[in-house]
Amino acid sequence: MSPRRPLGPRRPNVLMTAGSRRVALVHAFQRALAARGGGRVVVTDVNPMSPSVFVTDRAYRVPLSSDPRYIGEILRIADHERCGLIVPTIDDELTDFARAAEAFLVAGVRVAVSPPTTTAVCRDKLATCRTLTAAGIAAAASWLPHEVPEASTFPLFVKPRCGRGGVGAVPIRDRRDLEFFVDYVEDAIVQEYLTGPEFTIDVLCDWAGVPLAIVPRERVVIRAGVSDRGRTVNDPALIALAQSCASVVPFVGPVNIQCRVVQGRPTVFEINPRFSGGIPLTIAAGVDVPGMLIDLTAGAQLRPIIGAFKENLWMTNYETSVFVEEGRARLAPLGPTDVAEVA
């Protein structure tokens, strides 16, 4: 194995995978790099018309993350663009990046991803809740379809075991609904129906798994699985919940924990070891997560700033558009690889 290349100033650029609609996150990394002397944000995507392609500094079209060439193509782009940090953004690719993190590090590239055991547990919503419950952390009671107790109280909730974005998640009113939807929803699990305010807790951990920042956000209005309106909440119980989760499931980089407060008790129903869709609110509240990741990549030792954010800051989203003249998107070969540059 070749020696590790030095990280830090000589490789200042950031590569973000699956840029898609994550325009705000691209801008946040651009601002963080500009504040630290400059650098480029490079985005990869399978679709050359994704909005992020037209707001980033450089973009490349890549295969689907399920393609066996995918990780190698990302590494080649990172090397070509002198990227010292890679930020995976979708659940499907996290475990592959986690398994390859050491190989990337040997090449001088940090990947902001949790260990493979963590990404695998968090990808599986049944395993997530059972792991937390076994450690004494409040989590939604969860079953495989054949395990649902006969005496269960309705409503319940059916969702894909490894889904994302709220796709396929269905409230269940009675046993007739249950019998239909556990068959209709692919690889379904059943969870207790949690009632109470819903929160996402944004967490950033350093390379050793130490939590550096924890910002709870109430999800007041949710659209397509993403917070449309929300506010920051400096709640000690929610912060303590995140710390407890981090003590049981090793995290690295960005993580978001989803829970509801049921009769005063925060109860987890999902953990995603990646940036949340509502991360712009956390950044606006004074926690520059992109900048902290860049500093960590450069070798900085950061002190925790848990609880240090603007409380009760509201976010209300709206749709905007990127307008592209025909022919703007271009595909050019990159040397010996078949990755295509799209902007």
CA distance 244 to 131: 12
CA 259 from chain centre, in angstroms, equals 15
Q: Among the residues of 185-249, which ranges form H helices?
A: 236-248
CA distance 252 to 112: 7
- pLDDT tens-digit map of 277-330: 999 999 999 999 999 999 999 999 999 999 999 999 999 988 888 888 876 654
What tokens does 79 get? 């090397």
Q: In 3D, which of 253, 273, 256 has the Cα closest to residue 211?
A: 253
The H or E element spanning position 9 is none
Within 10 angstroms of residue 174's Cβ, the number of other Cβ atoms is: 10
Provide the residue-wise pLDDT of the chain in tens; the chain has 343 residues: 344 554 444 468 999 999 999 999 999 999 999 999 999 999 999 988 899 999 999 999 999 999 999 999 999 999 999 999 999 999 999 999 999 999 999 999 999 999 999 999 999 999 999 999 999 999 999 999 999 998 889 999 999 999 776 677 899 999 999 999 999 999 999 999 999 999 999 999 999 999 999 999 999 987 766 778 999 999 999 999 999 999 999 999 999 999 999 999 999 999 999 999 999 999 999 999 999 999 999 999 999 999 999 999 999 988 888 888 876 654 333 443 444 555 4
CA atoms within 13 A on the CB side of 184: 13
Question: CA-CA distances (angstroms) from residue 109 to 76, 103, 119, 331?
Answer: 11, 9, 19, 25
* β-pair type (253-262, 332-334): unpaired
- Provide the β-strand partners of residue 45: 61
CA distance 127 to 241: 18
pLDDT of 169: 87
Q: Among the residues of the chain, which ranges form H helices?
A: 23-35, 70-80, 91-106, 116-123, 125-134, 175-184, 236-248, 279-284, 289-297
What tokens does 307 get? 């609880």
Please give the angle made by the CA atoms of 319, 88 and 75, to the nearest 5 degrees: 130
pTM of the model: 0.91
What tokens does 217 get? 């956000």
pLDDT of 236: 97
pLDDT of 333: 38
pLDDT of 167: 75
CA distance 127 to 130: 5
End-to-end CA distance of the chain: 34
Assess contact for 109 and 84: CB atoms under 8 A: yes
CA distance 15 to 1: 24
Whether the bond into 68 is cis, omega within 30 of 0 = no
* β-pair type (170-172, 156-160): antiparallel
